[in-house]
Chain A
């Protein structure tokens, strides 16, 4: 009886330890998520005068404040794991599935659409007050998914060969 009790206690202890470990790692990511005030990045009202990705790429200069209307997408996986950054595509364009030919207003992921893809997609980085990217997955921070329409308010970061927006606020069209 004593032996059986010891075995049961040992197993219980082991399970508690294992459970404890997994809980603690889960808790760390949950704590990180909890410490970020998500409401400061989510806009309650949709900003006006939004422009599309293609126009922004053509006209916007470095450090310009812009309002961008775009659809989350443009890559097989548009979200950057663990960071509040995601690819967007011009709202008038859609990405076609592998092996399918693209028509008007569509772009594929093959070589044939390289130029069009470059012109119609860009990276959006959600940044905090310190100007650094928020270290939380955009799906968690903004509760968004692929193909969601978003209106992004932020500053243009244009380099010689790069173009992105450092967003301070995002409005999600539901």
Chain B
């Protein structure tokens, strides 16, 4: 089969620069929208998946349901757990057991009037032993009256990142707290929190109880051991849940959002195919005479169809690349606030495959039907066409 030269299709794109540019913008927008939605879903999934550690067991109030914020357990629980269980990770005579108070509260950032709903965790120096992904990237561990701000805490509070820089202050529960440092936690939900010394927080809140105890289990230790303790000590009203399971259950809560996200991806892709079809119909219909002339010159219908598909795919691949570039530069890493904290949009390999794959499919599907329609016209009618 005698095919049309590659350059013919490329040159054709530049012969109608306005139409080409408009089609490219349309395709880029559609693909960029797909990138944004996929990045949202992937970011949410990654945040919840990264938050749960397989070796960590959370112990909190039996009556608090699935919500740690509502949990209240006796302050002596960590000591009792430490004394009763053998399976807790221990290094240099320090047990990896972290007593914590966790709550959502109104926080005022210095320099702004409005109060944002933020998440605060009262911790001891044992917290980083249990939450091993946590890493201080700026400043230092908080002393009395100080807090450590997570990388995405500003997004949760609805303020600028600079507002939570080291040395600035935030006010909550009637006290002013100085930011002593900033931390990351491998993209987990902890990054949207503020961490402060447990005792200071208990004093500020006028409470002596805890919300939870997080424990890192040693290789030989098991959840069953902790469950046995909780079942025997009914007076404490405790339950033990693996951290990974806790966050997996939260992921179930967000399942409808994720499903909706995928539906939106399909809808946008569908709309994109129709928009592409419309554009290509316009482009091909205006070229019936040219296409018939090519047939008269001896080029077969299949060869002409291939050339039309080549043009469309070139445009859609170009659109995909531009959209991917914009997504990487502007979308990737953008913080998004949600009920449980904040997470960063993630343009990962899956997002690239889905975004660029959709772009390619748009090019292929958008070109075939109009090309087939144009090829049905006889050569004589085509040459006479105005």
Contacts and interface: CB of A to CB of B under 8 A. Distances in A.
Interface of A: 75, 80-83, 85, 87, 98, 109-111, 114, 117-118, 121-123, 125, 133, 159, 161-164
A164 B227 contact: no
B62 interface: yes
A114 B228 CA distance: 19
Contacts of A98: 65
Contact of A121 (B224, B228, B234, B236): B234
Given A110-B63, A164-B232, A83 B237 contact: no
B216 to A, nearest CB: 19
**Contact residue range for chain B?**
10 to 19
Contacts of A110: 63
A81 B63 contact: no
A114 B63 contact: yes
Interface string B224-264: 10011001111111010000000000000000000000000
Nearest to B235: A161
13 contacts: A80-B228, A80-B231, A81-B227, A85-B224, A85-B231, A109-B62, A114-B237, A118-B235, A123-B232, A125-B228, A163-B234, A164-B231, A164-B232
Nearest to A114: B237
Contacts of B227: 80-81
A60 B361 CA distance: 74
Interface string B59-100: 000110100000000000000000000000000000000000
A81 B234 contact: no
Contacts of B228: 80, 83, 85, 123, 125, 133
B223 interface: yes
B293 interface: no
A122 B234 contact: yes
A117 B224 contact: no
Contacts of B234: 117-118, 121-122, 162-163
A87 B62 CA distance: 14
A154 B335 CA distance: 58
Chain A interface mostly: mixed
Nearest to B227: A80
Contacts of A111: 63
A123 B224 CA distance: 13
Nearest to A164: B232
A162 B232 contact: yes
A149 B228 CA distance: 21
A82 B87 CA distance: 15
Contacts of A82: 222, 224
A118 B228 CA distance: 15
Contacts of A161: 233, 235-236
A83 B232 contact: no
Nearest to B231: A123
Contacts of A121: 234
Contacts of A75: 62, 231, 239
A159 B234 CA distance: 12
Contacts of A162: 232-235
Interface string B129-156: 0000000000000000000000000000
B224 A83 contact: yes
Contacts of A85: 224, 228, 231
B223 to A, nearest CB: 7
Most buried by B among A109, A162, A164: A162
A81 B62 CA distance: 18
Contacts of B222: 82
B63 to A, nearest CB: 5
Contacts of A159: 232
A72 B234 CA distance: 16
Nearest to A157: B232
Contacts of B65: 98
A81 B237 CA distance: 19
Contact of A81 (B223, B236, B239): B223
Nearest to A113: B63
Contact of B63 (A83, A109, A122): A109
Given A80-B224, A80-B228, A123-B231, 4 more contacts: A75-B239, A109-B62, A118-B237, A162-B233
Contacts of B224: 80-83, 85
B71 to A, nearest CB: 11
B338 to A, nearest CB: 24
A121 B235 CA distance: 11
B248 to A, nearest CB: 15
Nearest to A99: B65
Closest 4 CB pairs of A and B: A123-B231, A162-B232, A111-B63, A161-B235
Nearest to B232: A162
Contacts of B237: 114, 118
A83 B228 CA distance: 9
Nearest to A124: B231
B84 to A, nearest CB: 10
Interface string B108-134: 000000000000000000000000000
Contacts of B223: 81
